[in-house]
Amino acid sequence: MKFSHFLIKYGEIAVKGKNRNIFEDALGKQMRLALRRVDGSFVVEKKTGRFYVHCQGEYDYEGAVEALQKVFGIVGICPVYVFEDNGIESLKENVCAFVDEMYRDKHFTFKVQARRGNKKFPLNSMEINADVGEALLNAFPDTQVDVHHPDVTVYIEVREAFYVYSTILPGAGGMPVGTAGKAMLLLSGGIDSPVAGVRIAKRGALLEAVYFHAPPYTSERAKEKVVDLAKIMSSYTDSFKLHIVNFTDIQMEIYEKCPHEELTIIMRRYMMRIAEAFALESECLGLVTGESIGQVASQTMQSLRATNEVCTLPVYRPLIGFDKQEIIDEAEKIGTFETSILPYEDCCTIFVAKHPVTKPDPEAIRASEKLLEGSIERMVQEAVKTAEVISIKPQ
Amino acid sequence: MESCKKEIYLDNAATTRAFDEVGERVRDCLCRSYGNPSSLHGKGLEAEHIMRESIQVLADILKVPRESILLTSGGTESDNLAVLGAAQARRRKGRHIITSYLEHPAVLAPMQQLSEQGYEITYIKPDSQGVLHEDDVTDAVRDDTVLVSVMAVNNEIGSVQPVSAIAHKCKEKNPNVLIHCDAVQAFGKIPIFPRRQGIDLLSCSSHKIHGPKGVGALYVADPRMIRPILYGGGQQRDLRPGTENVAGIAGFALAARMVTDQMDQTEAHMRSLKELLIKGIASIEETHVHGSDFDPMWGAASIVSASFRGVSAEVLLHALEDKEIYVSSGSACSSNHPRVSDVLQAIGAAESDLGSTIRFSFSALNTEEEIRDTIRALKELVPVLRRFTRK
């Protein structure tokens, strides 16, 4: 069956009281942006507290569904059959035709669930359920009614026209991007940070990101890979700015002056400081990392405390309680995994000590950082000042 | 010829800059003589003439009949057509094939394919200088051997193989054996004459000799030696159908003519660059040149493969890139998948050298000054990079 309309169900945002309009407008905007990249001509319409997507002429059905499934705030996407209100008889006829076409094998149980939005319609919901149910049983003797656990639920909405659907494709859930504040993501080329970024976007946040580049230790291709990851993310997060910081000098300075087993922790503290500088400049309300407790030496609770203490903004760590496999599963789902595992060194791994500290003492770390005084401040300023900004747009 | 910049391109075994004349020739064919050689009208005839003349140029260089040259999309297709096509053509005579650990993936991957189809493949080991011994190859020849595939010049370390001796000895033992030679790194750089050398199938590529990418050739001594791997509209006697890449072949032929006319001078020039570079590398501590240690007369003049112990090849590559010096780590085709080089392992290179090997490859366009600059850069960078390594 070819559908020309989708009914869009949204969950959480329906209960947001007076802010409801803000949320709905953001959702509409994100849907329109998502559909712009799909082959076809689409109109997104907000009507009586629901969203409809009207598809004009031939269009890429799979592509449209896929695009809508990446829009946060949507809980269900229903391909819907719409026809004119010509009374109950025509409704019965059309529902039978719909069911006939959708379900070749008629051995199933069903129920009819009608909603009467147009109160002028002569039958109420219960009466519609009964009438249409009876018509279906007569037309398809192999079917049975089961109101508790039906195989098929036929939804009927009586509005200015009849809307019939029986499929609800799952949406991404969450809140529409743009309804929360902005957050600065520390994006590496790894598996975790893109997932963390998308998770934060799922709660409505807009993103910016910062990537630490260390030429010649990390290659131009490693940077390209991060840009590619950001582009994949942006089909969920909307367009965002990616700051690319040249981190080589800072890394070298730490390498030369600080105890080697503390290198990673101190490096990460400087990354946080630089990320926060960009965050404050761009009016972000927090930082986002892909850290998860205990995953590596720099992500023990002690290490997290040591890196956390240099920031004044809250640091959001949406993956903090995730296992690696759970993160991988999600990376596969959002489509970043294949790119993340391309084998280019990133600056976190290249100088890593054989036995890095796993329980850094904040006092000791601060003492080591004293060794950098006099040179590092200028390097940090320079790194912030010379950062390249790339504007990431979904493709 | 020289077009502006100060960049130093020492990755000519990966690909080369097209000669300016070649670029003009290609453009001319694409925009003016753009006919389809199979078309009956004058435009088609014009394109056909260009194609025939170009093939004649290649045939003359190899001293073979024009009919024995097939045009392909490049080295990979030539190797695939030779290996898969010959195995298919000879499938009733036997299912044993001999090749070596030195070969390019364009030969090894189709071999792998054949082995999955039930062919038995024998891989010959090179010596520590990356050279195959004709006796080792000949000893592997059996009654059911149908194909021996060995390259002329190795792309990673530049070792030159005794293809002629291998070909003649193998055929002495079993006259049914076909000899394929991947000459992608040799054609236009060292003399190659397949008929004299006993080679039945010879792969060449255009973009390694300042020609356009996407075009190559396969010499096929007798069309019955191979079966096609593509099927289509009957071009090239159905052995390699598809509208011919007229512009590509015209550019290829011009480049081939130019490098061949200058072959001796270029060889001497590159040999002196090689000597200069090797001396420079030798003056840096803890370095090693693969193949015959620090002997500039060893191997192809176009390739120097050296390891800088304690330095990650990829990092050195990017550090050189920062100075606009372009080199390769291992072989470019495999550099997207950082892994230890099979060829370096096959020649028994030290463990510590595997991840720190850089390949420098020259062309006629490189200058002594560029090599001096490169040595200067290496002397500056290598000690710095050694200071900053994983502890």
pTM summary value:
0.85
Residues B199 and B301 in one domain: no
Does residue A359 sit within a domain?
yes
Does residue A177 sit within a domain?
no
Does residue A244 sit within a domain?
yes
Sign of CA dihedral B25, B242, B80, B329: positive
Residues A113 and A210 in one domain: no
Residues B249 and B340 in one domain: no
Q: Nearest-5° angle of CA A272, CA A273, CA A276?
A: 85
Does residue B121 sit within a domain?
yes
**Last residue within a domain, chosen from A170, A197, A231:** A170
B377 close contact with A: CB closer than 8 A = no
Does residue B191 sit within a domain?
yes
Residues B194 and B115 in one domain: yes
Does residue A136 sit within a domain?
yes
Does residue A209 sit within a domain?
yes
Q: Which two tokens stand for residue B130?
A: 């990356």
Residues A227 and A329 in one domain: yes
Q: How far is the alpha carbon of A216 from chain B, nearest alpha carbon, in Å?
A: 5
Does residue B3 sit within a domain?
no
pLDDT per position as a tens digit, A80-116: 999 999 999 999 999 999 999 999 999 999 999 999 9
Nearest to A353 among B317, B337, B391 (CB): B391
* Closest alpha carbon within chain A to B316: A216
Residues A54 and A196 in one domain: no
Residues B211 and B283 in one domain: no
Q: Judged by CB atoms within 8 Å, which residues 313-372 of B form the interface with A?
A: 314-319, 321-322, 337-338
Domain span including residue A152: 5-170
**Last residue within a domain, chosen from B260, B285, B301:** B260
Residues B318 and B334 in one domain: yes
Residues B74 and B188 in one domain: yes
- Peptide linkage before A216 cis (omega within 30 of 0): yes
With CB atoms and an 8 Å threshold, state whether A219 touches B388.
no
Residues B53 and B165 in one domain: yes
Q: What pLDDT is recorded for position B334?
A: 43
Residues B272 and B150 in one domain: no
Q: Which two tokens stand for residue B148?
A: 């021996």
Residues A334 and A231 in one domain: yes
Judge whether B333 counts as a catalytic residue.
yes
Chain A residue numbers with beta carbons less than 8 Å from the beta carbon of B338 are 343
Residues A150 and A195 in one domain: no
The burial of B390, by beta-carbon neighbours within 10 Å (0-12 exposed, 13-18 middle, 19 or more buried), is given as exposed
**Last residue within a domain, chosen from A170, A201, A221:** A170
Chain A residue numbers with beta carbons less than 8 Å from the beta carbon of B316 are 216
Does residue A175 sit within a domain?
no
**Last residue within a domain, chosen from B228, B260, B292:** B260
Residues A150 and A253 in one domain: no
Q: What letter does residue A37 receive in the DSSP assignment?
A: T
Indicate the pLDDT class of residue A22, thresholds 50, 70 and 90: confident
Question: Strand, coil or helix: what is A216?
Answer: coil
Chain A residue numbers with beta carbons less than 8 Å from the beta carbon of B329 are none
Q: How many domains in chain A?
A: 2
**Last residue within a domain, chosen from B217, B242, B260:** B260
Does residue B289 sit within a domain?
yes
Residues B232 and B309 in one domain: no
With CB atoms and an 8 Å threshold, state whether A216 touches B390.
no
What's the CATH number where A112 sits? 3.30.2130.30
What's the CATH number where A366 sits? 3.40.50.620
Chain B residue numbers with beta carbons less than 8 Å from the beta carbon of A252 are 388
Residues A111 and A192 in one domain: no
| φ, ψ dihedrals at A391, nearest 5° | -95, 120
* Closest alpha carbon within chain B to A251: B388
What's the CATH number where B354 sits? 3.90.1150.10
Does residue B1 sit within a domain?
no
A83 close contact with B: CB closer than 8 A = no
Residues B273 and B321 in one domain: yes
pLDDT per position as a tens digit, A290-333: 999 998 888 999 999 999 999 999 999 999 999 999 999 999 99
Residues B12 and B79 in one domain: no
**CA A216 – CA B321 distance, rounded (Å):** 8
Residues A226 and A371 in one domain: yes
What's the CATH number where B192 sits? 3.40.640.10
For A65, A160, B252, the CA distances from A47, given in Å and listed in that order, are 20, 11, 65
With CB atoms and an 8 Å threshold, state whether A343 touches B337.
yes
Residues A110 and A203 in one domain: no
A257 close contact with B: CB closer than 8 A = no
Does residue A203 sit within a domain?
yes
* Count of CA atoms in the C-beta half-sphere (13 A) of B59: 16
Q: How many domains in chain B?
A: 2
pLDDT in tens, chain B (391 residues): 444 458 999 999 999 999 999 999 999 999 999 999 999 999 999 999 999 999 999 999 999 999 999 999 999 999 999 999 999 999 999 999 999 999 999 999 999 999 999 999 999 999 999 999 999 999 999 999 999 999 999 999 999 999 999 999 999 999 999 999 999 999 999 999 999 999 999 999 999 999 999 999 999 999 999 999 999 998 999 999 999 999 999 999 999 999 999 999 999 999 999 999 999 999 999 999 998 888 888 999 999 999 999 898 988 999 999 999 999 986 444 444 445 577 888 888 887 788 899 999 999 999 999 999 999 999 999 999 988 776 5
Nearest to B388 among A219, A220, A252 (CB): A252
Residues A109 and A131 in one domain: yes
Give Cβ neighbours of residue A220 (< 8 Å, ≥ 6 apart): B318, B321
Does residue B2 sit within a domain?
no
Residues A145 and A242 in one domain: no
Does residue A176 sit within a domain?
no
Q: Which two tokens stand for residue B24?
A: 């003009």
pLDDT per position as a tens digit, B248-285: 999 999 999 999 999 999 999 999 999 999 999 999 99
Residues B145 and B238 in one domain: yes
Domain span including residue B111: 20-260
**Last residue within a domain, chosen from A170, A191, A206:** A170
Does residue B137 sit within a domain?
yes
